[in-house]
Amino acid sequence: MKRILLIQLILVLLVVVSCKKDYPMDDDGLLITKRADCYVSNFELLGADFQTVRTKAATIDTTAQTINVEVLFGTDLKNLYPQFTLVVDAVLDPKIVGKVDFSDLSKPKEWTVVSGNRKVRKTYKVFLTVKQ
């Protein structure tokens, strides 16, 4: 009986050792790939009720690395939830973990898109205007 348990234990250890991760991962446990693409493909801005506050689609300039978005009059600018759609394997820095205060319209918010290989970084500025 002890011999069977010993054999089972050895088999389990072999399986664990053979399943070693051979793929590079970042600090968040995301796979680091060979992709160097680095851009924003879509941008959404939600209010406190998680409904869009945009008046029209955001204008994304991947060359100038800017996003211009117009929001409805009366929008609570201190409680907005930005959502980025990025190219495959890219990540956003800093992460968005909750509401963002856009109330100071003179200072655009900035986020950096980091490529899948984590070598290319592009900082996007989000400019917000309120429809009159």
Domain containing residue 67: 27-130
The CATH number covering residue 95 comes to: 2.60.40.2340
Write the pLDDT tens digit of every residue in 107-131: 999 999 999 999 999 999 999 999 9
Could you give the percent of the chain with pLDDT greater than 70?
A: 89
Query: Is 3 part of any domain?
Result: no
Q: What are phi and psi of 79, to 5 degrees?
A: -130, 65
Number of structural domains in the chain:
1
Give 57-79 pLDDT, tens digit per residue: 999 999 999 999 999 999 999 99
Catalogue the E-assigned strands of the chain.
Answer: 40-46, 59-61, 66-71, 81-86, 91-93, 109-114, 121-130
Q: Fill in the DSSP letter of residue 56.
A: S
In a domain, 103, yes or no: yes
